[in-house]
Chain A
Amino acid sequence: MLLRADSLAATQAIAAALAALARPGDVIVLAGEMGAGKTAFAQGFGRALGVTDPITSPTFTLVHSYPLPGAKQTLHHADLYRLETTSDVADLALHELAEFGGIVLVEWGDVAAAALGDHLEVRLEPDDDDDEDDGDDDDGDEFGLDGARLVTIEAVGPAWATRWARLSSELEPFRC
């Protein structure tokens, strides 16, 4: 489904709606280039699940884990950006983390989607219509953290089939 978030707060509201339906075993891929808001999305997602620790980018530590309050569950926040091979990805054993009571968010997970098994992909892109002076320079953050985003959500595998209708109706206000 294709959604539009007109601000950072809206992006995080979409994240919260997704978090409300997520359950242990889920692997959620966060795709999108530098500055697209993958970590911001993870922050909105984590806050909705009651994580009070600051959620920071796991680029250099590969996986950050946050125990969820009141549940024997853990939110794992991974980032594949520094990895070079699919066996590096396999080494993280993200599906094992998911299976052991974990909800796993994977930044840059789209580059190794085949190694992740069933998952939900959330793709974040700047909404070009929103920003007139969006030069095509390469500094990676030209569209501003608080700008509008196009958010595409797609399920790979059957894990979300039974929750899809619910998710669609929760996210109706953000439909393009």
Chain B
Amino acid sequence: MLILGIETATEQVGVAIGGHEGIIATFEVARGRRHAEILTPAIEFVLRQADVDVDELGCIAVDVGPGLFTGMRVGISAAKALALALRVPMIGISSLDLLAFPCRHTDRVVVPVIDARKGEVFWSMYRQVPGGVQQVSAPTVGPVDDLVADLLARSQEALCVGDGAERYRHEILEGYHCEISAPVHPSPGALVQLAHAQALREEWVRPAEIEPIYLRAPDAQINWATREQRS
């Protein structure tokens, strides 16, 4: 069975196809931030170059964030539309998992850090386990200082990856001695690999069950004193 993976949670648009034989095609563009314009042609291109007919796809995998709201919506709605049209199940995987998975061969703590804009980042921590990585701290959103405090509190050898680590390289290194390295963007190849392992165990869901992970700041009611007064 072939899996199509769609990844648009950061500035990158990533598409990959793979299955039993591993990854057979990938496409990544990390410039321009034109998710809506690039994604559909990218899917067509990857299918055509890999000589895969759309009917051969048995599952659609998608990066469900956290990340850019605008980017995630493009990818998740396109993935859902494809899955509904093809009547195939879906697998949603976190962008933080996708950043950590390619680093599974290090014995350090892997810390994927995604730029959340307005001076904040999304992050989580992973440990090597046989065959992959395991999340050891829940995904969090907060200012870069909070990430540094979290790193200090754990005081373990750490490897930070992701566009948030790249953007706030100096702030992080000033506060905590660690390594910052690639990958910068979640890998669509990792998405297909991880989804394939889940698909073998039939751990998939219906398109309606796929939800983006927004990880917003705590919610509050808007104070509409003005509006109530007028209406």
Q: Which A residues have a C-beta under 8 Å from some C-beta of B?
A: 33-34, 80-81, 83-91, 93, 95-97, 99-100, 108, 111-112, 115, 117, 138, 140
**Is B153 at the interface (CB under 8 A from chain A)?**
no
Q: Which of A80, A85, A96, A117 contacts B69 (CB 8 A)?
A: A96
- Bound CA–CA A107/B68 (angstroms): 23
Q: Which B residues have a C-beta under 8 Å from some C-beta of A?
A: 33, 68-70, 117-118, 214, 216-217, 219-224, 226-227, 230
A85 touches B220 (CB 8 A): yes
- Bound CA–CA A123/B230 (angstroms): 17
A-B residue pairs in contact (CB < 8 Å), sample of 27 = A34-B230, A84-B221, A85-B219, A85-B220, A85-B221, A85-B222, A86-B217, A86-B219, A86-B220, A86-B222, A87-B219, A90-B69, A90-B217, A91-B69, A93-B69, A95-B117, A95-B118, A96-B68, A96-B70, A100-B33, A100-B70, A111-B222, A111-B223, A111-B224, A115-B217, A117-B118, A138-B230
Classify the interface of chain B: helix, strand, loop or mixed: loop
Known contacts: A89-B222, A112-B222. The answer to whether A140 contacts B230 by CB under 8 A is yes
A120 CB, nearest partner CB in chain B, Å: 16
B2 CB, nearest partner CB in chain A, Å: 32
B69 touches A83 (CB 8 A): no
Q: Which residue of A lies closest to B212 (CB)?
A: A91
The interface residues of chain B lying within 8 Å CB-to-CB of A80 are 222
Known contacts: A33-B230, A99-B117, A100-B33. The answer to whether A93 contacts B222 by CB under 8 A is no
Task: Beyond the given A80-B222, A95-B117, please list 19 additional residue pairs across the A-B interface where CB-CB is below 8 A.
Answer: A33-B226, A33-B230, A83-B222, A84-B221, A84-B224, A85-B220, A86-B217, A86-B219, A86-B221, A86-B222, A88-B222, A89-B222, A90-B214, A96-B69, A97-B70, A99-B117, A108-B227, A111-B222, A111-B226
